[in-house]
Structure formats: structure tokens, C-alpha cells
């Protein structure tokens, strides 16, 4: 006796190759959410990078303490976001030579593009950052003199 799976007309026999399988889903919900989060993160960091560039131009036009503080805060926030989102701590378990269990903690670059973007910012803004560092040193010296 031959048993066929599924509902088919009685007079039509179905060959093994003709059976249609359910189409596989292209992406599940978790993958879609992760993709949207990565896209949102990338857009947000691009926006912050553009804001830093504009603030740097404002700083070069008018060297005020207010512009300097804003610029330093923006660079600091951008680098913190990049590091927080771009590098993750991964913990794995393995075995050593004698067969004992061992834990390994690895720093893993989750998104190399984020890290590259942070490095690009540092390279493009290097002159301004050096200038800010010197201004910060001068400000510290002045504060030490006053107090």
C-alpha cells in the first residue's frame, strides 16, 4: 500500500520531485530587527559625525570657550558610542591541554565599520584635537594660577 502525504486529486499521481515544499522565509523577525537597529545606528553615527564636522568649522571660525566645550563633548560622546556599539566582550569556554575547563574572554569587533568610522574621525580631526588639547592645557594652567 502506498501512502501519499497531503491532499491531492485521486486521479493524479504526484512524483517525488513535484512535491512542493513550503518556501523558506527570507528573514525571521529577529534578523529584521537586528538589521533595522544596525541601519539606525549607522545613520545616527553619520549624523553625529556631520555635527562634529560642522562644530569643528564653527570652532575654527570663532575660537570661543563655548564652541570648544561643545566640540569636545561631541567628540567624546561620538567615541563613547562607537566603542560601546562597535566592540563587545565575548566569553567562551574551552579546554586546556590537560582537559580542564577554561574560560576565555575575547574582545570582539562587532561592527568593524563603526570602529573604522571612529578612526576616520580621529584622523580627520587630528589637528583640531591637538589644538583643543593645547587649549585645554592652557586653560588648566590658568586655573592653577588663579587658585
Nearest C-alpha neighbor of 78 from the set 110, 107, 46? 46
Which residue has better confidence, 44 or 8?
A: 44
Neighbours of 117 (CB within 10 A): 19
Q: What is the largest CA-CA distance in the chain?
A: 101
Which residue has better confidence, 11 or 133?
A: 133
Q: How far apart are CA 13 and CA 43, in angstroms?
A: 55
- Kindly report which listed range (24-33, 48-57, 101-110, 116-125) carries the lowest average pLDDT score: 101-110
Residue 125: C-alpha distances to residues 32, 119, 136, 138 (Å):
35, 10, 16, 20
Grid cell in block for residue 137: 592645557
Break the chain into its structural domains and give their ranges: 37-96+104-146
Pick the CATH number of 37-96+104-146 from 3.30.70, 1.20.120, 3.30.1480, 3.30.160: 1.20.120
Give the pLDDT confidence of 59-109 residue by residue, as tens digits: 778 877 788 778 888 888 887 887 777 766 667 778 878 888 887 766 666
pLDDT of residue 57: 82
pLDDT of residue 46: 83
CA atoms within 13 A on the CB side of 111: 18
For the entire predicted model, the pTM comes to 0.51
pLDDT of residue 19: 53
pLDDT of residue 143: 64
Amino acid at each position: 500500500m502506498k501512502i501519499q502525504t497531503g491532499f491531492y486529486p485521486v486521479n493524479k499521481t504526484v512524483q517525488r520531485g513535484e512535491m512542493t515544499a513550503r518556501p523558506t522565509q527570507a528573514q525571521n523577525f529577529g534578523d529584521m530587527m537586528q538589521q533595522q537597529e544596525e541601519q539606525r545606528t549607522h545613520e545616527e553615527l553619520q549624523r553625529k559625525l556631520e555635527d562634529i564636522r560642522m562644530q569643528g568649522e564653527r570652532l575654527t571660525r570663532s575660537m570661543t570657550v563655548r564652541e570648544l566645550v561643545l566640540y569636545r563633548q561631541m567628540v567624546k560622546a561620538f567615541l563613547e558610542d562607537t566603542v560601546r556599539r562597535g566592540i563587545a566582550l565575548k566569553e567562551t569556554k574551552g579546554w586546556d591541554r590537560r582537559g580542564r575547563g577554561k574560560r576565555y574572554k575575547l574582545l570582539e569587533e562587532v561592527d568593524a565599520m563603526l570602529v573604522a568610522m571612529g578612526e576616520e574621525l580621529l584622523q580627520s580631526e587630528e589637528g583640531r584635537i591637538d589644538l583643543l588639547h593645547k587649549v585645554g592645557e592652557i586653560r588648566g594652567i590658568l586655573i592653577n594660577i588663579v587658585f
